[in-house]
Structure 1
Amino acid sequence: MRPSSPPLSYAGVELPRSELAVSALRYAAELTDPVVFRHSLRGYLFGRAIGETRALRAGADYDDELMFVASVLHDIGVSDAGNGDERFEVDGADLAVGFLREHGLSQDRAAVAWDAIALHTFEGIGARKGPEVMLCHAGITADILGRGRELLPAGFADRVHAELPREDLAYVLTDAIVAQALDNPRKAGPLSFPGQLVRRHLPQGALPDWYDLIADAGWGDRPARDGNG
């Protein structure tokens, strides 16, 4: 059973308590698998902690409420409600922004939230955006791949995991993305992150790679000769 009123502090960190933040927290808890929901909270906590190592102060150097709502909603694209015809990151961004706009978020701030959610799997892009997008990306990446975990304060990850256990999150989330993509191939373009995941679950060659795509482009391009002619 999913919580209707999740706690508002974890590992000694107070979560934003604005009406928008609490509504987004409850919405994420209602829509997503509990394992995925806990990942979204850890992403916020880790992103905020990484921000502190870069002298970024919540509420002063970045919009903490905005970073929080983007973090907790970033994976609603893998929920039943968020399962549309786009890759899960984009479906999730569209659903999240619709919810946030209905709850009074301005268009400019909603655009930042959309970027943070839609770009959270894009290596080398999210980290180059504004601080809210960058910290959202950093926290999510730390929780999934462990990148940047060395920046977290000593013992902080252990305290977070004690309150928000992982329960094999990386595989649970991967399986959810793959299940959606197998059911609807439009969600897993051959060059996308979901496409990379689903390729291992299809017969070899069923999903074209980059070289297949350029070979079929119709322009007649040929590979360059190697150095030996």
Structure 2
Amino acid sequence: MKYDDIVVPDTAACRLALEVATEFHSPSLLNHSIRAYLFAAAHGQGHGIGFDAELLYVASMLHDIGLTREFDSHTVPFEEAGGHVAWVFGAGAGWPAERRRRAAEVIIRHMWDAADVPEDDPEGRLLELSTAMDISGRQTGEIPEPLRSEVLARHPRLDLVKEFAACMTEQGARKPDSIAAGFVRGGIADKLAGNPLNS
């Protein structure tokens, strides 16, 4: 599979989600969000997994919006804050309530253990996998070449290792019961630094 084989939906909601991500994310987090979609869609297409490309794209662009200064929450984990943003975004995009709820679910579930994401949520399972690939390096060997090289060339990792480790550490310190805190205790910084995608 090559870069141009990946289906990138061209809808108003997708264009606006990219605009929001570009406005509020750092360059490193923006590229991470784009890679998250590309790796998720490539895996779905390559393994014959049916998925809603628009829903997956919007969730990918907004899945880390709760880490940004503007949308950080001191009361809920960042993935829940991001889910709330996605619900509001979906309302603005004219999505029905059920589709807004699905966008929020996909974002929240990207932080779950893979085994806990329901089988009937392909978008949630794909985003969980693709973010794990890009952050902790899980199953990166399944990303086909030359797709891996082209994605990294077009959307480089920049300062993701340092920046994301700092975000998780800060989130974990303020929200010790969050999944992010568990990731910190589990050595997310070392996993980030050792991710094969860095080289």
* TM-score where L is the length of structure 2: 0.83
User: Counterpart of 1:160 in 2: which secondary structure?
Assistant: helix
Alpha-carbon RMSD across the aligned residues, in angstroms, is: 2.1
Unaligned 5+ segments in structure 2 are: 187-199
Report the Cα offset of residue 83 of structure 1. 0.8
Aligned partner letter, 1:83: D
* TM-score where L is the length of structure 1: 0.72
Report the Cα offset of residue 195 of structure 1. 2.0
Corresponding position of 1:109: 99
Q: Once the two structures are superposed, what CA deviation does each residue of 1:36-76 show, in whole Å capped at 9, x if it has no partner?
A: 110010000000111123212xxxx2211001100111000
Structure with max Cα Rg = 1
Q: Distance in 1 between matches of 2:143 and 2:184?
A: 32
Indicate if the aligned counterparts of 2:171 and 2:180 stay in contact, CA closer than 8 A.
no
Q: Distance in 1 between matches of 2:120 and 2:161?
A: 25
Q: Distance in 1 between matches of 2:28 and 2:160?
A: 6
Structure 1's 140 and 127: CA in aligned 2 closer, same or farther, altered over 3 A? farther
Corresponding position of 2:168: 177
Corresponding position: 1:87 with 2:91: no
Report the Cα offset of residue 147 of structure 1. 1.7
The percentage of aligned residue pairs carrying the same residue is: 29
Aligned length: 182
Q: State the structure with bigger RCO (CA 8 A, min sep 6), 1 or 2.
A: 2
Unaligned 5+ segments in structure 1 are: 1-9, 201-229
Indicate if the aligned counterparts of 1:116 and 1:126 stay in contact, CA closer than 8 A.
no
Corresponding position of 1:36: 29
Structure 1's 197 and 134: CA in aligned 2 closer, same or farther, altered over 3 A? closer
Report the Cα offset of residue 148 of structure 1. 2.4
Written as runs of structure 1 = structure 2, the 5 A alignment for 1:21-32 is 21-32=14-25
Corresponding position of 2:179: 193
Of the three residues 33, 37, 42, the one matched with 1:49 is 42
Of the three residues 41, 47, 65, the one matched with 2:54 is 65
Aligned partner letter, 1:80: R
Q: Distance in 1 between matches of 2:183 and 2:126?
A: 25
Report the Cα offset of residue 199 of structure 1. 5.9
Aligned partner letter, 1:77: G
Runs of 4+ in 1 over 6 A off after TM superposition: none
Q: Distance in 2 between matches of 1:11 and 1:139?
A: 15
Of the three residues 8, 12, 21, the one matched with 1:15 is 8
Indicate if the aligned counterparts of 1:83 and 1:180 stay in contact, CA closer than 8 A.
no
